[in-house]
Amino acid sequence: MATPEGTIEPSAQPAPAPEPPSEEAVAAVVDEISKEIKEEKKEGDLKATLLISGAVVAVLGAIFAIFKKVKGSA
């Protein structure tokens, strides 16, 4: 069967399978991912620490305000 000009006839042979990545490439990607996870964990720990510190300061401020109010009324 003739094909019109400019069209590509499909190949009878399948395309070759791509080469699997080397062990070094896989190890490099795994190392990079583990580094990113550790960095994100550090950032998460810092955020949690700051949040807890803020809550402690707020509670201490409230306690101080209550004692000041009680002392002023006495």
The answer to whether 3 and 9 have CB atoms below 8 angstroms apart is yes
CA distances from residue 65 to 12, 19, 48, 49 in whole angstroms, order as listed = 84, 70, 26, 24
| pLDDT single digits (tens) 59-73 | 999 999 998 888 877
Q: What pLDDT is attached to residue 8?
A: 65
Top pLDDT among 43 and 55 is at 55
Q: What is the mean pLDDT of the chain?
A: 83
| pTM > 0.85 | no
The answer to whether 32 and 38 have CB atoms below 8 angstroms apart is no
d(CA 27, CA 74): 70
